[in-house]
């Protein structure tokens, strides 16, 4: 395993935040508001998948991107995912989930995504979840064929452990003539889902989380120059409930927020100290990690997205004590 843990994090290409579109349904006005707010917040990457809304997310992304002026359209990167079969009926007629990363499925999935998006190519295709029955090299060959056909520029993966990520990296190194590597790995990561962080910090401790092979993923991604994207970074609002995206302005407001207790109160305290929104604090906790993490934010609320824009500044000013206070509060226990 090639893990050079001292290597600095890879520079992020584009905005620190990515706009997730899993919730973009048929309500185009709501999605349009999210896209505008995302662009205003400096976001340059849209994340979708063939299974989101059974294709409706991709259709909405495609329609809204087509409405943009040419310059804004060209500055946007669209990434999509394939490899999960979600709506196939089982013997009892009810849909069963399975994973398929075979060349035929990946190529057909990508072509169907491009149709829905109305695009000639996507920037990045992510393999959504691992299909253990398909050798990684077969999936990589399918990506390279699609790239040759001009349908996609880069390859990413999602929800995969370190060994499989490195298998992709090695297969690309062996098969791609131009030395292209894996673009990104997308994993659930945030104050609510701290596995990748706690696996490092609590190594060999009784409270160490079960990581199923992803324990050193953050450092390995940084060392390999692979972008680590964090899905679910706002924890669906668990730590910012009731927020309108504004910065808590005074001690009275902070005291009211803190009265609830628990991790949300610590998020509010740190927001007051840094004079940023609570959303910015939650995302800054991720950006502060030395792995070049890019949160994939799933909000459609323009005020919340505007609040998220302060995350990079908050991360630059968040000190180690504040970071640890947030972590400890989310964990619900003091550190060993
Ligand atoms: N690779 C994968 O397997 C995978 C899995 C899941 C998701 N994803 C990607 O990651 C993106 C983000 O995932 P996510 O949506 O689960 O994560 P998220 O960004 O943590 O959560 C966004 C959701 O939480 C709500 N929310 C946030 N703050 C709130 C608050 N203070 N009060 C009430 N509601 C609040 C948002 O509602 P509002 O719209 O009202 O703000 C939105 O529904 C998705 O869009 C998708 O692109 C990838």
Q: Per residue in 6-25, pLDDT tens?
A: 445 555 566 799 999 999 99
Range of the domain at 96: 18-182
CATH number, domain containing residue 96: 3.20.20.100
Q: Is residue 259 part of a domain?
A: no
> What is d(CA 315, CA 225) in angstroms, rounded to the nearest whole number?
21
Is residue 240, in this structure, part of any structural domain at all?
no
Sort strands 294-297 and 184-188 into parallel, antiparallel or unpaired.
Answer: unpaired
**Nearest-angstrom CA–CA distance, 88 and 91:** 10
Quick one: average pLDDT of 261-270?
A: 91
Cβ of 232 closer than 6 Å to ligand 1, yes or no, is: yes
Nearest atom of ligand 1 to the alpha carbon of 305: 41
**pLDDT category of residue 277 using cuts at 50, 70 and 90:** very high
Instruction: Look at residue 6 in the predicted model and tell me its pLDDT.
Output: 44
> 227 C-alpha vs ligand 1 centroid, how far in Å?
20
Q: How many CB atoms are closer than 10 A to CB 72? A: 13
- 85 domain residue, yes or no: yes
CA of 48 to the centre of ligand 1 (A): 12
In a domain, 270, yes or no: no
- Tokens encoding 306: 């505007």
CA of 329 to the centre of ligand 1 (A): 21
Mutation test residue for ligand 1: of 233, 299, 305, 311, the one with most atoms within 8 Å of CB: 299
CA–CA distance, 97 with 90 (Å, rounded to integer): 9
pLDDT at 185 over 80: yes
Q: What's residue 260's pLDDT?
A: 67
Residue 285 lies in a domain: no
125 in a structural domain: yes
Poorest-confidence range of 9-18, 27-36, 158-167, 246-255? 246-255
Give the mean pLDDT of 254-281: 86
Total domains in the chain come to: 1
**Among 38, 48, 122, 232, which is best to mutate for testing ligand 1, by the most ligand atoms less than 8 A from CB?**
232
Give the pLDDT confidence of 31-86 residue by residue, as tens digits.
Answer: 999 999 999 999 999 999 999 999 999 999 999 999 999 999 999 999 999 999 99
């Amino acid at each position: 395993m090639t893990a050079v843990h001292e290597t600095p994090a890879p520079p992020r290409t584009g905005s620190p935040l990515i706009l997730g579109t899993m919730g973009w349904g048929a309500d185009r006005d709501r999605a349009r508001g999210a896209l505008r707010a995302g662009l205003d917040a400096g976001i340059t990457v849209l994340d979708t998948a063939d299974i989101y809304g059974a294709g409706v997310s991709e259709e909405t992304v495609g329609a809204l991107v087509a409405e943009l002026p040419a310059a804004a359209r060209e500055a946007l990167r669209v990434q999509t995912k394939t490899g999960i079969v979600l709506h196939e009926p089982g013997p009892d007629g009810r849909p069963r989930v399975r994973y398929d990363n075979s060349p035929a499925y990946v190529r057909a999935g990508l072509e169907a995504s491009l149709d829905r998006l109305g695009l000639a190519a996507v920037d990045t295709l992510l393999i959504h979840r691992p299909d253990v029955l398909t050798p990684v090299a077969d999936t990589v060959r399918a990506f390279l064929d699609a790239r040759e056909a001009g349908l996609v520029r880069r390859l990413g993966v999602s929800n995969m452990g370190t060994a499989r990520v490195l298998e992709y990296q090695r297969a690309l190194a062996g098969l791609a003539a131009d030395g292209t590597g894996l673009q990104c790995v997308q994993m659930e990561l945030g104050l609510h889902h701290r596995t990748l962080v706690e696996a490092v910090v609590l190594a060999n401790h009784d409270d160490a989380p079960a990581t199923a092979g992803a324990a050193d993923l953050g450092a390995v991604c940084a060392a390999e120059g692979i972008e680590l994207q964090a899905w679910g970074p706002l924890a669906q609002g668990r730590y910012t409930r009731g927020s309108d995206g504004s910065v808590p302005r005074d001690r009275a407001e902070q005291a009211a927020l803190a009265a609830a207790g628990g991790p949300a109160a610590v998020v509010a305290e740190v927001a007051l100290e840094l004079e940023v929104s609570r959303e910015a604090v939650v995302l800054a906790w991720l950006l502060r990690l030395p792995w070049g993490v890019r949160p994939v934010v799933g909000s459609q609320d323009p005020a919340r997205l505007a609040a998220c824009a302060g995350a990079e500044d908050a991360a630059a000013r968040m000190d180690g004590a504040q970071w640890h206070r947030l972590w400890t509060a989310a964990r619900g226990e003091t550190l060993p």
